Structure 1
Amino acid sequence: MEAILAVRRPADGGYRPQVETALEPELPRAAGHEVRPRCPPRPLTG
């Protein structure tokens, strides 16, 4: 049980799903999901 929790939680202590880390390994783990917007930026006009 402890092993599973360790895999899902990065060593830095921040919470990040394992799937998200696997899909986007290029992003720094320290940044977390809060830095990057969930949806792509939309144009204000249109």
Structure 2
Amino acid sequence: MTSADGTRRMSIAVNLQRWNRLDSAQIPQPHPIDDALHSLIQLALHG
């Protein structure tokens, strides 16, 4: 990923195993790691 202005770049490798549990409709439910990854991306690309 690269920031819009091109001054920041990052790369993330994530295991293909998903940690989200499915609800009764088979929809993945949020997991705390989703928020952690979002925060990491925001910090890395936006400071």
For Structure 1 versus Structure 2, the TM-score category normalised by the shorter chain is: under 0.3
Higher relative contact order (CA 8 A, sep 6+): 2
Structure with the higher helix share, 1 or 2: 1
| TM-score, scaled to structure 2 | 0.24
